[in-house]
Amino acid sequence: MHQINMNFINLIPLFPLLGAIFCFALRDKKPSILCGITASLMVFLSFVSSTASVFALSGAASPAGTETVIVSNNFTWISAGDLKIGCDLMFDRLSAVMLFVVTFVGFLIHIYSIGYMIHDKDSNRFFSYLNLFVFFMIILVTAKNLVLMFVGWEGVGLCSYLLISFWWSDPANAAAGRKAFITNRIGDFAFLSAIFILYWLYKSCGFETGFDFIKLAENFKALSAALPSSGFVVIVDLVCVLLFIGASGKSAQIPLYVWLPDAMAGPTPVSALIHAATMVTAGVYMCVRLGFLFAASALALKIIAFTGVLTAVFAAVIAMAQTDIKKVLAYSTVSQLGFMFIAVGCGAFTSAIFHLATHAFFKSLLFLGAGSVIHSLAGEQDIMKMGGLRKLIPGTFTTFFIGVYAISGLPLMSGFFSKDEILLYSFAGPHSSAIFYALATLASFLTSLYMHRLLFLVFYGSFRGDAKKYGHIHESPAIMTVPLYILAFFSIFSGFIVFFKSLNFKTLLASYQSAIAAANISHSSEYSVMGIALTAAFAGLIAAYKFYISSNDYLSKINNAFAAFIKIQENKFYIDELYDLIIISPLKSVSIFLHKIIDVKFIDDYIVGGTVRGFKYINSALSDAQSGRVQGYLSAMAAGLAVMTVYVLYNSIR
């Protein structure tokens, strides 16, 4: 690993931080477009500086066979004994991909938000949080060590909480924010435990790394030689599984996915930026960044792939029965994140990041498109009250259409290339398995089905909502549609990057990929996987067409035949209720016991109240003694005098 020092990469996180401070200072002022423009500009400047870093990175000469990394060693942040953790940033090819997604998509969503939030009285605060989020996300992806990454990790969690409950005056929104925050804490606990075990592991073998990613990776080989192999495998398995639990909290995997659908309570641009494009992919990024660890743990990879596959199918099944446009997209995000984890679990880290990037484009496009639909319908989110919007909001329709095609994996769209790679690796990759492949293909079929269901119900057929509203439907302003067009462009074309050999995408993350033995994938299996994936995608499209456009007979027949199942499906398999029963209710009972018995009764009443009552008693006794009757004092004095006299006399006699 060839490191070059360039301090200007510090500018990348600096701009959004300044924007956040500026907008936060104006939070109580009258909302103006100034904050929106400043915030967008800051993210744009951040985008420019990360692009400049890309050129600096590709221009830097590096010794043959090594990868170049730009680092900025700023200052020592934590110094405890011989543990030194720096507040240092790094910029390598993986960070470059992530930064492109974060700053570019972030910039477009900021622009869109100017139009979306213009009528909100708190829009200054909104932009402050949004910029703060971008700052923490940049810290997360550019951190040079695991601990600083954790700071970004927690920071984006905080911003997610602030933005989900942005309209906090409605208790439901505040509750959704709390749910996201608390669910993430469970994952973070596992993440922190993994950090501690990792420290202990390196320390016990005499390596002092300061959690620096580069040093961690460099010392990892020596570490495996220094420990007895069986014990080493157990510890690495443990660390990787704990890290994955952390990732599954942030990236909404089973069993910690429940917060993401509720997170849709936030404003739609937030759903697009945080809960689709960037923050929720942080778990995937973390797994790839620590790929050298995961590659050494076959058990963890199996668990990851299994969880990913399960999540991808499960969330897709739930998505099919949802009627809230944002909820459908939320479950779709959960399902797509499952795909990314299938890639990680099959050892195809590059494919995971590829799908992460293309997903960022088409999913933020879909969310912003949904936001535009909601905006046109003055806040209506129920797809059963939409329909026939194709002619009324053509710009939104076109871009949404592209987004649906991209996510469904129909030919030549970005989703086709990235999903195909994942399916290929689950079929023929180094850690592939027939079950993973079959279920992933099923999930891809379901993806196509529920996305087309959404498309047909919203834009085709006839309008099913309130007739009075029909006349007011209008296309969103250009400030909202232009970002849609740009994202649509990338949703179509970002997949073509695989054809540009000069960009070298396949080896973009070579250092991460090389940890896994290169798989020999024959062309025949490549084509057959592609054929099956296309068949699945088209089957989904045709099924949705049959159900929702050509005739309603099929649908009603199926609905009748599987009425009980569909009821369960509509209620999201009662997972929230199940969690409520087995976790939340017992926890609540214990909390109530601790509150009512231990806290109120024992601590407050007996210990604190007892002390107070004791002093009150002493006080009243002393107060009674001071009766105000001088003769009383005199008798006390005389009695004292008498006692002293007797004492003196007694002593003198003795």
Which residues lie near other proteins (CB under 8 A)? 623, 626-631, 634-635, 638
Residue number, 587 or 639, with CB nearest to other proteins: 639
- In the bound complex, what is the minimum distance in angstroms from residue 643's beta carbon to other proteins? 14
Question: What is the helix (H) or strand (E) element at residue 89, kind and residue range?
Answer: strand 89-91
Residue number, 629 or 654, with CB nearest to other proteins: 629
- What CA–CA distance (Å, rounded) separates 329 from 327? 5
- In the bound complex, what is the minimum distance in angstroms from residue 638's beta carbon to other proteins? 6
- What CA–CA distance (Å, rounded) separates 159 from 412? 36
The answer to whether 350 and 513 are in contact (CB under 8 A) is yes
- In the bound complex, what is the minimum distance in angstroms from residue 629's beta carbon to other proteins? 6
Residue number, 594 or 637, with CB nearest to other proteins: 637
- In the bound complex, what is the minimum distance in angstroms from residue 596's beta carbon to other proteins? 40
Residue number, 33 or 636, with CB nearest to other proteins: 636
Task: At 616, list the tokens.
Answer: 């009150």
- In the bound complex, what is the minimum distance in angstroms from residue 634's beta carbon to other proteins? 5
- What CA–CA distance (Å, rounded) separates 530 from 352? 17
Residue number, 169 or 626, with CB nearest to other proteins: 626
- In the bound complex, what is the minimum distance in angstroms from residue 619's beta carbon to other proteins? 11
Dump the DSSP string for 92-159: -HHHHHHHIIIIIIHHHHHHHHHHHTTT-TTHHHHHHHHHHHHHHHHHHHHBSBHHHHHHHHHHHHHH
- In the bound complex, what is the minimum distance in angstroms from residue 631's beta carbon to other proteins? 5
Residue number, 462 or 626, with CB nearest to other proteins: 626
Residue number, 434 or 622, with CB nearest to other proteins: 622
- In the bound complex, what is the minimum distance in angstroms from residue 613's beta carbon to other proteins? 21
Over the Cα atoms of the chain, what is R_g?
31
- For the beta carbon of residue 396, count every other beta carbon within 10 angstroms: 26
- What CA–CA distance (Å, rounded) separates 333 from 363? 7
Using alpha carbons, select from 514, 462, 23 the residue that is nearest to residue 291. 514
Dump the DSSP string for 305-335: HHHHHHHHHHHHHHHTT--BHHHHHHHHHHH
Return the SS3 of 86: strand
Q: Greatest CA span in the chain, whole angstroms?
A: 123
Q: Which residues contact 574 (CB under 8 A, 6 or more apart)?
A: 568
Residue number, 471 or 628, with CB nearest to other proteins: 628
- In the bound complex, what is the minimum distance in angstroms from residue 616's beta carbon to other proteins? 15
Residue number, 225 or 630, with CB nearest to other proteins: 630
- In the bound complex, what is the minimum distance in angstroms from residue 649's beta carbon to other proteins? 12
Q: Which residues contact 639 (CB under 8 A, 6 or more apart)?
A: none
The answer to whether 403 and 362 are in contact (CB under 8 A) is yes
Q: Which residues contact 549 (CB under 8 A, 6 or more apart)?
A: 456, 460, 461
Bridge partners of 382, per DSSP, are 324
- In the bound complex, what is the minimum distance in angstroms from residue 632's beta carbon to other proteins? 8
Quickly list H helices, 347-462. 349-376, 394-408, 414-428, 434-459
The answer to whether 273 and 371 are in contact (CB under 8 A) is no
- In the bound complex, what is the minimum distance in angstroms from residue 633's beta carbon to other proteins? 9
End-to-end CA distance of the chain: 95
Return the SS3 of 80: strand
Q: Which residues contact 13 (CB under 8 A, 6 or more apart)?
A: 46, 89, 135, 138, 139, 142
Residue number, 552 or 619, with CB nearest to other proteins: 619
- What CA–CA distance (Å, rounded) separates 431 from 295? 10
- For the beta carbon of residue 580, count every other beta carbon within 10 angstroms: 13
Residue number, 525 or 627, with CB nearest to other proteins: 627
- In the bound complex, what is the minimum distance in angstroms from residue 642's beta carbon to other proteins? 9
- In the bound complex, what is the minimum distance in angstroms from residue 620's beta carbon to other proteins? 11
Residue number, 559 or 620, with CB nearest to other proteins: 620
- In the bound complex, what is the minimum distance in angstroms from residue 650's beta carbon to other proteins? 17
Q: Which residues contact 383 (CB under 8 A, 6 or more apart)?
A: 323, 324, 325, 328, 454, 457, 458
For the four alpha carbons of 61, 62, 65 and 67, in that order, the dihedral sign comes to: negative
- In the bound complex, what is the minimum distance in angstroms from residue 626's beta carbon to other proteins? 3
Residue number, 598 or 634, with CB nearest to other proteins: 634
Burial grade of 398 (CB within 10 A; 0-12, 13-18, 19 or more): middle
Residue number, 63 or 628, with CB nearest to other proteins: 628
Using alpha carbons, select from 361, 459, 451 the residue that is nearest to residue 405. 451
The answer to whether 448 and 536 are in contact (CB under 8 A) is yes
Residue number, 583 or 634, with CB nearest to other proteins: 634
CA distances from 251 to 90, 333, 352 (A): 23, 9, 13
Residue number, 520 or 623, with CB nearest to other proteins: 623
Quickly list H helices, 546-608. 553-561, 563-570, 575-579, 585-593
- What CA–CA distance (Å, rounded) separates 570 from 296? 40
Residue number, 592 or 625, with CB nearest to other proteins: 625
- In the bound complex, what is the minimum distance in angstroms from residue 618's beta carbon to other proteins? 14
